[in-house]
Amino acid sequence: MASNHVIAKRCRRCGKLIFAENLQKRCSASILLKQHAFACATCSVVLDYNVAEVVENVPFCNKHYSVARWSVEDVTEWLQQVDLEILEGQFRDSRIDGKKLLGKGFNEIYLKHFQLSSMDRKEFQKQRAKLK
């Protein structure tokens, strides 16, 4: 009897099904699915399957993994260390943890929501860039 089992995996980043015969085909983002699944969520560097660090199904490189694991309290402690205490309450209320802090969606619009001066926004972006 012939078996009709289909072997498929899901891309951990985009959720698309990856069939065994298509592991090397490109997804809509024009990145190899095999590589696409293991690219750092912060810097997009392609990761080796054996050394990828994953936080809540999101892969990170070694450099970004430790920050991605920060709790809300760790982020507020970092804000104190870089003399940005003005942001502590807003970050705590918005529950910004390390993963959100590194996220690509965390941008200038998000900071404008906090109603900071342009000088404070620039200083925050400078300090955040050092984490990346």
Residue 119 has pLDDT above 80, yes or no: yes
Q: In sequence order, which residues have a C-beta less than 8 Å from that of residue 59 and are 6 or more positions away?
A: 12, 13, 37, 38, 39, 40, 41, 47, 52, 53
Choose between 54 and 127: higher pLDDT.
127
pLDDT in tens, 1-51: 444 555 556 666 666 666 655 555 444 433 444 555 567 777 777 777 666
Q: Kindly provide the b/e burial profile for residues 74-105, where b requires at least 16 CB atoms within 10 angstroms of the residue's own CB.
A: ebbebbeeeebeebeeebeeeebbbbbbbbee
CATH number of the domain bearing residue 122 = 1.10.150.50
Could you give the percent of the chain with pLDDT greater than 90? 17
Mean pLDDT of 48-57: 69
Per the domain annotation, does 1 fall within a domain?
A: no
Give the helix ranges, DSSP H, for 30-94.
33-36, 62-68, 72-81, 88-93
Domain co-membership, 33 together with 52: yes
